[in-house]
Chains A and B, each alone.
Chain A
Amino acid sequence: MSKSPYSSLPQRAFWRGGVAGAPAFPPDLYRPKFPVTTDTRVFTAGSCFAQHVGAAMKAAGIKVIDAEPARRGLPPETASRFGYGVYSARFGNLYTVKQFRQLVDEVNGAQPALPVWERDGRFWDAQRPGVEPEGLASPDLVQEMREQHLAAVAEALSQADMIVFTLGLTEAWEHRETGTVYPTAPGTVAGDYDPDTFRFVNYGVADILDDFTELEEALSEINPNLRWLLTVSPVPLAATASDQHVLPATIRSKSVLRTVCDMLCDSSDRIDYFPSYELVTSPAHRTSPFADDLRSVRPEIVAQIMQTFLQAHGLCDKDVTSEERAPNAEAADEAICEDILLDAFAPEARQDGRSPEAQRDGNSPDVTK
């Protein structure tokens, strides 16, 4: 048999044996660039899938920073619904790199445009509408709570050794005049959509790389020695405003984010990528890794993904089966995602006679998947 550059490669390099005929969660899939230990102080952020990552890390004893913890007396369901203990501070989901960059800029003194959105006499922090599901009584309160929040974010970032960030979306809504980006479309949770004020954007690879570079520069003022662990959310778009079908729009979005991760990883020893996206979308699953809505990742899959991550870092002793993981996995299924609210605007939802606002009000449990 003649020699080939492939002849000395290990089995993990070949589809047959690496995927076909291999476990759906191959133990040699992920080789960490740098260790994560129980002493690593981790800052978690990102799209809703990142909530699972943070929860699994906490359960494994990793020092996940919580700068705005649920204090004594605050019960778990309320804490989670109001964004306590979900990420390293109560910033809610950061779906885009630009949103993260903007948050750090704000910590450093910048001001986003239109920071307060109103609905029915209540007021929401436009940068984190999900953490106060019922809104607040006045714009001043929104501002006061935001100032306390920003101080907590600064504290959390200054303590961190590593940021775990899950990239979720490329589509977003911006303020036309200033470029301020928002986590939800105006009019979804609060506010009103005015096309003269807001514009739809669909970031490309270059946009996101630029945002990440600026984010790192902004972070260097707070904490210059941060390492990154990036993941891509496997959760498909709830809706697209791109004029494409939502399926190619989803693949476009995930492909861009995946490309960005690869380019960032290749550019720095301080940036690692964990292939949670690949573990969900792998064809090796015998049954669908998605729940009946074909968006939510089934809890046992999430548990196995996180098991793969922890094993790679030597942070769990044995191979835990999905059945053994099931109780924790159920808890992990409670990720909070504002983007699912867009379902209320779908044509079949509009045709059932209720306005999107009414469905939004009447379907608050749908916010949690």
Chain B
Amino acid sequence: MKIAVVGTSNIGAIKYAEAQIAVEHPALQITCYGLPGRGFDEAKVNETLVFQPNQSDSRLCKVAQRVNGCAGLDLTTFDHILVIADTLGMPATLWTAASYDIADWPARTGRALLSEPAFLSAMHEAITPRADHLRSQFGDMPIHVALAPYPTTAVVPKGDHHQMPYAAMAHHPEAARIQRLYRAALTRALAARNMIFVPQPDETIASPFLTKEPYGHGSMDFRAEGRLLNDHRHMNADFGASLFRAFALTLHQHDAASQNQEG
């Protein structure tokens, strides 16, 4: 079964886990196609369903050719497509959660109160345009979607690597609830657009919205093997293997559900 893994620099984790994936999933043959974040955002399938960068950006086209070995990827030749996309409204959701106390929940920190309906509406409004955009990039093709990984716990302490709003979630009393609500909203929004959400595997998560720090060690630039990143946002091959296992499991569950429906 042929699998296309398409996305931003975050595909690096899977790209450098290809050997491990081949061992674990011998029936799945993967092809990775990545573009830098902004370039990916402007990329889309053409009329023959070849996923390619903005053709007016000659520099990006050259990058695509050099990194991927092809200018674009013909998605019709694959059985399934896994897209590792952007953060899909997550930062805005977390900023909202960090800015207010949600009135319906028990915790009070002295922040302004926001009703849960307003919070859910904000989350929906943050997710919707990103989900619409992602859908438009891939035409009508069914795709599986994974979020860009949560940053590692290295972003929590004050200092050079500190990164809000993720750091705020480390001590947020309702972080687990927020993650549950966000994942549910994202799953619904993607499903409504014929996309299947692949959540970040629990084994990689230190606490809601934060990845275990070791998964950031040895992360490499998807454009050049051997160039270490270690930037707390990109993950290593162990993470890639774990995410791919989650994808394969989702694939299996989805196929089983489809067969049951047909039966």
Query: Which of A's residues lie within 8 Å of B, judged by CB?
Result: 68, 71-75, 77-78, 81-82, 132-137, 141, 144-145, 148
Contact = CB atoms under 8 A, between A and B. Distances in A.
17 contacts: A71-B96, A72-B95, A73-B91, A73-B95, A73-B96, A73-B126, A75-B92, A78-B121, A81-B121, A82-B117, A132-B118, A134-B115, A135-B117, A137-B104, A141-B115, A145-B113, A148-B113
A78 B125 contact: yes
A75 B122 contact: yes
Contact of B113 (A77, A133, A137, A144): A144
A340 to B, nearest CB: 20
Contact size class for B? 20 to 34
Contacts of B112: 68, 71, 148
A82 B100 contact: no
A137 B119 CA distance: 14
Nearest to A134: B117
Given A71-B100, A73-B94, A73-B97, A78 B116 contact: no
A74 B99 contact: yes
A342 B96 CA distance: 33
A44 to B, nearest CB: 19
Contacts of A132: 115, 117-118
Interface string B88-124: 0001111111111001100000001111111001101
B101 to A, nearest CB: 10
Interface string B75-98: 000000000000000011111111
B233 to A, nearest CB: 19
Q: Which residue, of B99, B104, B118, B124, has the highest number of chain A Cβ atoms within 10 A? A: B118
A73 B165 contact: yes
B128 to A, nearest CB: 9
Contact residues of B: prevailing secondary structure: helix
B165 to A, nearest CB: 7
Nearest to A81: B121
B99 A71 contact: yes
A72 B124 CA distance: 16
Given A75-B122, A135-B117, A148-B112, 18 more contacts: A71-B96, A72-B96, A73-B94, A73-B95, A75-B92, A75-B125, A78-B122, A78-B124, A82-B117, A82-B118, A82-B121, A132-B117, A133-B117, A136-B103, A136-B104, A136-B115, A137-B104, A141-B103
A73 B93 contact: yes
Contacts of B125: 75, 77-78
Contacts of B122: 73-75, 78
B103 A74 contact: no
A39 B238 CA distance: 57
A141 B100 CA distance: 15
Nearest to A67: B112
B116 A137 contact: yes
Contacts of A148: 112-113
Contacts of A135: 117
A133 B115 CA distance: 11
A148 B101 CA distance: 12
A135 B125 CA distance: 19
Q: Which residue, of A71, A73, A78, A134, has the highest number of chain B Cβ atoms within 10 A? A: A73
Contacts of B113: 144-145, 148
B103 A73 contact: no
Contacts of A68: 112
B119 to A, nearest CB: 9
A338 B82 CA distance: 46
Contacts of A133: 117
A143 to B, nearest CB: 11
A137 B93 CA distance: 21
Contacts of B116: 137
A73 B93 CA distance: 6
B112 to A, nearest CB: 7
B157 to A, nearest CB: 21
Which 6 residue pairs are nearest across A and B when measured between Cβ atoms?
A73-B95, A73-B96, A71-B99, A134-B117, A75-B125, A78-B121
A135 B117 CA distance: 8
B118 A78 contact: yes
A72 B100 CA distance: 9
A194 B99 CA distance: 41
A115 B131 CA distance: 40
Contacts of B92: 73, 75
A131 to B, nearest CB: 9
A134 B259 CA distance: 40
A75 B123 CA distance: 9
A82 B119 CA distance: 10
Contacts of B96: 71-74
Contacts of B91: 73
A347 B101 CA distance: 43
A28 B121 CA distance: 45
A138 to B, nearest CB: 9
Contacts of B95: 71-73
B219 to A, nearest CB: 27
Contacts of B124: 78
Nearest to B111: A71
A145 B122 CA distance: 18
